Copies of this chain bind each other. A is one copy, B any other.
Amino acid sequence: MSEPYVKNVVEAALLASGRPLTVTELFELFDEFAKPERASIEMALTELAAEYESRGIELREVASGYRIQIRDSIATPVSRLWSERPAKYSRALLETLALIAYRQPITRGEIEDIRGVAVNPNIIRTLLERNWVRVIGHREVPGRPELLATTKDFLDYFGLKTLDALPTLAELKDIESLGVQLDFSSGVALPEAAELQEIMGSDEDEGVPVAVSGSVSG
């Protein structure tokens, strides 16, 4: 069993901080000459999680550490504390966020190519202000567009530990497999092969073609 003092400090710190805390951050709260073992902090976390089992709160590990949150089963009465409905996010914002989350690092131009529509600058600004997204560099192409990626705050907000915890993307079906059955009444027309090759071959990692099309965006 962990020392009661260690467990009490860990619990109090998690409740006082208002943000997730890592084991290292918890460790550093202790006085230099009375530092517990890191293992006893981990033990305290395990014990707290077990104690909360029968309670209205739970210990959750998210991207930037541990936090204590209200248990889902009790969220309805607790949500009555606030009369205002929480903000809804527009589809445009969510689609942009999804593209950044699954395709990071990604430029605004690449987002626009996939969505087939211009991205409202307000959307990127909102995502940056919420600190869900940040600029992590520039793509070394003309114009040096900013590369966008998600942050730990994004994962924390959605209660995720890592990006891998995001829902899996839908499968892409391959039109090529259908090619045999195609029946064109007046024969098959080929698009400029080179052009399509270039367009389709640009994204090997997932086998998903990024719809970058000069003819469309140009």
Contact = CB atoms under 8 A, between A and B. Distances in A.
A54 interface: yes
A161 interface: no
A43 to B, nearest CB: 16
A206 interface: no
Interface stretch (A66-74, A194-202, A210-218): A66-74
A159 interface: no
Given A8-B56, A13-B81, 8 more contacts: A4-B54, A9-B74, A13-B77, A13-B78, A16-B78, A29-B81, A31-B77, A32-B157
Interface of A: 4, 7-9, 11-13, 15-17, 21, 25, 28-33, 54-57, 68, 70-71, 74, 76-78, 80-81, 153, 157
